[in-house]
Structure 1
């Protein structure tokens, strides 16, 4: 049975989960057997940065991870009412999960960077041996269109036989955070688009971004930026934000998110709880924001709450310390901020992704191994490890040990992996190779769309 194929019916992403379940059940009834699924920094930095998945049926209620609060141990997304009576035996995702080893599951929770412009040995090992769930490419991995397509195809080919297709991800925002090679027409910054205050144009931006990254083999984009540019001294957000008001960021950011999604690219909104009021670059040091929950609720949280209401699929969490919320752990490692607030109070049921765990904000203040375990206990699903094979190995080993010594239960791991597999299924990801695209038409559309923003570049 192929991974999933409802896109041929032109269903919207939010209609697909029920379609998938119905298809699987029909196949099961017909066959009598179950199918099987067969500078250089990340996230916030300009030099190298990264709708809630709706599983077809809930997994059996797992025990919460050790010491977790109820809000920190949240079940995968609720299913449509018409599918609520389905059993796990009719759930292809649950059956796939049940057939995975602990090592397979931990691999799915890792999204890693690679060195160079070819699929070197460390990259091959992380995919073939550690079975990582995703790859992120940056500017120093990309030299030309032909090279990029060759690289994405080679990486996906290396994933042959692994539990699920790779997330092939990129930070392609526009403006100074642009990773695509020179053959692509340039996208303006979010701030330039924001000055036009046109939600329809932001939606088209999302569609064009999606078509661009998809054409070279990507299936996930770490965009849109939902940070509000409220601090003029902010060294890392600036024109990456649509603007300085919540209303503008909400309207344009959600439009871009929907545009990306409509073209089959997984959008990852960032950087929860909000990076717009920092005066320190988290690539270098740990920013501290002394705002209360009430203050955040009036500004920074508004775009993320709007995204969750519009069924956002994935959220990236920032490395920022909020002492009045959690005096010990930054947002990316905090059970209060992820488990109680994002998953609990805001009701987010999709995939939570950390910003790069090798950034200065983390490695200068916490051990990488401890941070990896803390973020999973807090409620994160995917751990972004953007630099060095040894760091991926350290994170993987820490998570494996945490399950074996009981710090984290395997049921907690299953929650995350279920969400990951559900998201991959929703977007019908495959490891199929793509041809080198002819960009003539796409570039013409980008250039025509961007004309009103040229003066705001």
Structure 2
């Protein structure tokens, strides 16, 4: 009898141990410490005003279309123009650039004022910035910037990449942003590329995938939305899309062997938002750049790679678009192709044009309201997932974050 009881106890202990290990084992790409770090929970105030996840049924067409626009603004403080963008056009998000950012206090105040203007909207604003580190940094002087992605890629240390991501997330949280247009998943395969260069983690698809995914996970772990970019890959271009429309003359098979590798892996690891580049891929779509192409957005990104997150365009005011298309027409074509968010970053006057053109396209039957609903559901689902709120941010003490940046700077200088 004693032996029988002992056997039962041993079996129970082994079974419990196996179950414990199954539920404890982290993602194979993450360290134990990384796996234990969960996304930051919303504050009680934010939870009390949780974003309605799928609110399309209670929204007007104007409100739906507004959610699909991610606008830039002028100046460094609230103006009548910015108030109109939020109040009248119900924009889903606002991006700030270096010209909009002067100091910690000013940045926090500006973002708080936007939240206050948007307070009656059940869907808080996406508040984003291009913060990659290196040459693409928007941080005020008091906040230290991370080194280039290339320097982190050279270390090829997943833990360092994850820490860099958490720092980016902490910087966003501290200033009041909730979205970072990072990391760059482009493979720097063309040494003559004038726009990617050291913004990439390197020329090796596996290194770019590994470092990029860990950076993405680090950003997400701080409760900040990460945007992977620039799908389907801007690394093998010889033209800056800010100035002209680049062309990548590669087949779908060639893209899958290089450019698409990091994006495919990031999607499998939980990417929430993907930015589409203004790149012409003549072997896939001879007429439209990737940002306006149904073959790229719906065919490759959604159907082939299984991405059901939010698709945002690169800035529609870049000359890759404006040299060849009317911005409002381009926006309509992007929605037809399957895009969700339309980035109108450098000309707030164009927000009205995009809004009106898109509304007219729905009213005249060019785009169905069901198609609009699909995008709005993705956008509001994203806002609900990250518990966005209009809660104000206090001016932060960033010394502890700066110390972490300094640690990374020391590592890459070895």
Bucket of the pairwise TM-score, normalised by the shorter protein: 0.7 to 0.9
Deviation per residue, 1:257-280 (Å, 9 max, x gap): 000000000000000000000000
Structure 2 counterpart of 1:272: 231
Q: Which residue of 2 aligns with 1:447?
A: 406
Secondary structure of the equivalent of 2:106? helix
Partner of 2:302: 343
Aligned length: 375
After superposition, the Cα gap between the structure-2 partners of 1:183 and 1:13, relative to the gap in structure 1 and judged at 3 Å, is closer
Corresponding residue of 1:283: 242
Separation in 1 of the partners of 2:359 and 2:50?
24
Work out which of the residue numbers 131, 154, 175 in structure 1 matches 2:134: 175
Please give the TM-score of this superposition, normalised by the length of structure 2: 0.88
What residue number does 2:24 align with? none
Coordinate RMSD, CA, aligned: 1.9
1:22-59: per-residue Cα shift (whole Å, max 9, x none)?
xx9xxxxxxxxxx9966xxxxxxxxxxxxxxxxxxxxx
Residue in structure 2 matched with residue 298 of structure 1 by the alignment: 257
Q: Find the partner of 1:93 among 53, 60, 66.
A: 53
Please list every run of at least 4 consecutive aligned residues from structure 1 whose deviation after the TM superposition is greater than 2 angstroms. Answer: 10-16, 35-38
Give the alignment partner of residue 231 of structure 1, picking from 190, 209, 215: 190
Q: Does 1:413 align with 2:405?
A: no
Pair 1:145 & 2:104 matched? yes
Quick check: 1:100–1:163 contact (8 Å CA) kept in 2?
A: no
Asked if 1:307 corresponds to 2:266, the answer is yes
Which residue pairs with 1:427 in the alignment? 386
Q: Deviations over 1:379-411 (max 9, x none)?
A: 100000012222111110111001000000000
Asked whether the 8 Å contact 1:157–1:431 carries over to 2, the reply is: yes
* Partner of residue 125, structure 1: 84
Classify 1:157/1:14 alpha carbon distance in 2 versus 1 (closer, same or farther; 3 Å). Answer: closer
> Which 5+ residue runs of structure 2 have no aligned equivalent?
1-35
Report if aligned partners of 1:13, 1:426 keep a CA contact under 8 Å in 2.
no
Among 204, 224, 228, which residue is 1:245 paired with? 204
Counterpart of 1:325 in structure 2 is 284
With normalisation by structure 1, the TM-score equals: 0.80
1:450 deviates by 2.3
Name 2:348's counterpart in structure 1: 389
CA contact (8 A) 1:180 1:213 kept: no
Distance in structure 2 (CA, Å) of the matches to 1:388 and 1:324: 32
Distance 1:135 1:380 in 2: 17
More moved, 373-382 vs 154-163: 154-163
- On the 8 A contact 2:242/2:318 being kept in 1, the answer is yes
Displacement of 1:197 in angstroms is 1.0
Q: Could you list the per-position Cα deviations for residues 347-368 of structure 1 after superposition, in whole angstroms to 9, with x for gaps in the alignment?
A: 1000000000010000111111
Q: Is the 8 A contact 1:135 1:166 kept in 2?
A: yes
Q: Which secondary structure state, in structure 2, belongs to the residue aligned with residue 340 of structure 1?
A: helix
- 1:418–1:14 distance in 2 versus 1, CA, 3 Å: farther
1:175, CA displacement in angstroms? 0.1
User: Which of the numbers 122, 130, 153 marks the counterpart of 1:163?
Assistant: 122
Q: Compute the displacement of 1:140 (Å).
A: 0.4
> Of residues 376, 389, 405 in structure 1, which corresponds to 2:335?
376
Q: Provide structure 1 residue ranges, at least 5 long, that are not aligned to the other structure.
A: 1-9, 17-23, 25-34, 39-91
The answer to whether the 8 Å contact 1:232/1:238 transfers is yes
Describe how 1:206-225 pairs up with structure 2 within 5 A.
206-225=165-184
Q: 1:11, CA displacement in angstroms?
A: 9.6
For the residue of structure 1 that corresponds to 2:378, the secondary structure is helix
Distance 1:350 1:164 in 2: 17
Q: Does 1:360 align with 2:323?
A: no
SS at match of 2:94: strand
* Cα distance in 2 for residues equivalent to 1:158 and 1:11: 34
- 1:321–1:347 distance in 2 versus 1, CA, 3 Å: same
Is structure 2 residue 71 aligned with structure 1 residue 112? yes
1:186: Cα distance to partner?
A: 2.3
TM-superposed deviation, 1:12: 4.6
Aligned-partner Cα distance in 2 for 1:232–1:389: 35
Larger radius of gyration: 2
* Larger CA deviation: 332-341 vs 388-397: 388-397
Q: For 2:413, what is the secondary structure of its paired residue?
A: helix
Q: Distance in 2 between matches of 1:440 and 1:116?
A: 27
